[in-house]
Amino acid sequence: MMLWALLTVFGFTLIGGGLLYGHRKSHADSLVLAKALTLKLRESVLFLDSILRELPVVVYVKDTEKLRFVHVNPAGERLLGISRWELIGRRNQECFLPEEAAVFEANDRAVVVSGRPMEASQETVTTRTRKKRTIRVRRSPIKDPQGNFRYLLGVVEDITDQVISEAALRQAKLEAESSNRSKSVFLAQMSHELRTPLNSVIGFANLLLKNKKGNLSADDLQRLQKILGNGTHLLELINSILDLSRVEAGRMPINKTPVPLGPLVTQTVGELAGSLPESGPVTLRAEMPETLSPLETDSSKLKQIIINLVGNAMKFTLKGSITVRVKADSSGAPLCLEVSDTGIGIPADKVDSIFEAFQQVDNGNSRKFGGTGLGLTVSRALANLLGYHMELESEVGRGSTFRVVFRTVPPALEVPRG
């Protein structure tokens, strides 16, 4: 606006004054114009400067020839504890410790040479008060109007606090992992030690129950039966805790070999079927695809998972069927193993929690059906150890399907069960 006002005055004077004064007038007017332009320029410099002043990050500019500071904003002065008047005109070596200056010099120079921006993830700078700060620097080359790289722009973030808290977090994680491992090692050792005397209690209770001398009363035998029942329950608990803590402590050995799943499943189902009354209300069977290639796995661990899942299915199925099914893709590569039952089912809000240690659908069930609440936790831990994951589909009153997924493929590639 001001410029236009001046130009208007200039034009009016020119027309009114005539040609005689033309030369002198045009000189004076050029001066006015130059002044106006200078004013504009000053305004925009001040505008830019006030932006740089308010920026919370450090901004500096260096010349590309000797890498001397040309500009530093107040955030830079605050970070370094050095005034901009001390910095401007100085080179890296004159402002920083020799080893830090060498890094700045090399990185500044690399940007000047390549003509490309560069971000250094971490550099260190020692401030005037001898404090070490960790900084992240983004350097960009700046062109002059002729297109030459005359300046280097640096944007610096002080990431000291972030680096310290990340290191503290890493340390805390390491400590937590290590104490969790020690806990698991302790549990594994303790459960192992508990098993020996417990086995002997169970063994002697079994022996006495035979009542070979015939001198034990019915009450004695009933009490012995209780000792045996509780002892066996305790042994199951200890075995499960031992398994879980071994997996957690990374002490569960895995022995993977190519395992033909057909024989493994048929044999396990055969063994388990023995505990079901013949022509009783519940049947147990295996279903396998016609072609089935061996699975590279640890057969004893997979067998343990099948036993746990079928054991549960038998416990919670009063009538109907239990099916152990292997599914494969079109080439016969095993995809998953399922244990389906037509039992009591599991409410949707318990589907996740029953995989947690000591979680059962409800206390009523646990009293009625017994169990430790650890079978599924152990099964899932073993499945994960082998590189598999477990899934569960269930409907109350209709039954459940527990699935050990060996590998996932698009559903289109799955072959209907054989």
Q: Do residues 71 and 88 make contact, with C-beta atoms less than 8 angstroms apart? A: yes
Whole-number minimum distance, CB 269 to ligand ADP, in Å? 15
Region near ligand ADP per CB under 6 A, out of 87-95, 147-155, 287-295, 308-316: 308-316
Closest CA to 55 of 31, 22, 36, 77: 77
Q: Residue 125 or residue 309: which is nearer to ligand ADP going by CB? A: 309
State in angstroms the smallest separation of the CB of 284 from ligand ADP.
13
Cα separations in angstroms, 166 against 122, 137, 162, 172: 14, 19, 6, 10
Q: Which residues of 14-34 are buried (b: 16+ CB within 10 A; e: fewer)?
A: eeeeeeeeeeebeeebeeeee
In the bound state with ligand ADP, the residue whose beta carbon lies nearer, of 76 and 371, is 371
Looking at 206-214, 278-286, 358-366, 380-388, which segment touches ligand ADP (CB under 6 A)?
Answer: 358-366
User: Quick check: 314 binds ligand ADP (CB under 6 A)?
Assistant: no
Distance CA 357, CA 375 (A): 8
| Sole window of 4-12, 183-191, 196-204, 363-371 interacting with ligand ADP (rule: CB under 6 A) | 363-371
What secondary structure letter does DSSP report for 211? -
Please say which residue, 76 or 375, places its beta carbon nearer to ligand ADP: 375
- Report the DSSP pairing between strands 69-72 and 320-328: unpaired
Looking at the DSSP bridge assignments, the partners of residue 390 are 404
In whole angstroms, how close is the CB of 303 to ligand ADP at the nearest point?
Answer: 16
- The site map against ligand ADP for 161-200 (x = CB under 6 A) is ----------------------------------------
Under rule CB under 6 A, residue 354 binds ligand ADP: yes
Q: Is 316 in the site for ligand ADP (CB under 6 A)?
A: yes
Give yes or no for residue 373 binding ligand ADP (CB under 6 A): yes
From the CA atom positions of the chain, what is the Rg in Å?
A: 41
Beta bridge partners, 359, equal none
Residue type, 206: N
Q: Using CB under 6 A, pick the residue from 375, 380, 390, 403 that binds ligand ADP.
A: 375
Q: CA–CA separation, 26 vs 20, rounded Å?
A: 11
- Whether residue 151 contacts residue 61, with contact meaning beta carbons closer than 8 Å, is answered with yes
Span near ligand ADP by CB under 6 A; candidates 99-107, 243-251, 323-331, 337-345: 337-345
Residue 323 binds ligand ADP (CB under 6 A) = no
- What DSSP string runs through 332-380? --EEEEEEEE-SS---GGGTTGGGSTT--S-HHHHHHH---S-HHHHHH
What value, to the nearest 5°, has the Cα angle with vertex 277 and ends 271 and 280? 125
Among 264, 313, 335, 381, binds ligand ADP (CB under 6 A): 313
80 scored as a contact of ligand ADP (CB under 6 A): no
Among 305, 360, 381, 390, the residue binding ligand ADP under the rule CB under 6 A is 360
Q: Is-contact 405 277, C-beta < 8 A?
A: no
Comparing CB distances to ligand ADP, the nearer of 107 and 317 is 317
Of 306, 361, 381, 390, the one binding ligand ADP by CB under 6 A? 361
In this complex, which beta carbon is closest to ligand ADP, that of residue 135 or of residue 376?
376
Task: At 327, list the tokens.
Answer: 């599914």
Our finding on whether 341 is near ligand ADP (CB under 6 A) is: yes
Identity of the residue, 125 or 378, whose beta carbon is nearer to ligand ADP in the bound complex: 378
Interface with ligand ADP, residue 344, by CB under 6 A: yes
CA distance 354 to 373: 8
390 binds ligand ADP (CB under 6 A): no
Q: Helix 375-385 to helix 299-316 angle, to the nearest 10 degrees?
A: 150
Exactly one of 252, 261, 374, 390 binds ligand ADP (CB under 6 A); that residue is 374
Binding site residues, ligand ADP, CB under 6 A: 312-313, 316, 341, 343-344, 346, 354, 360-361, 365-366, 371-377, 400
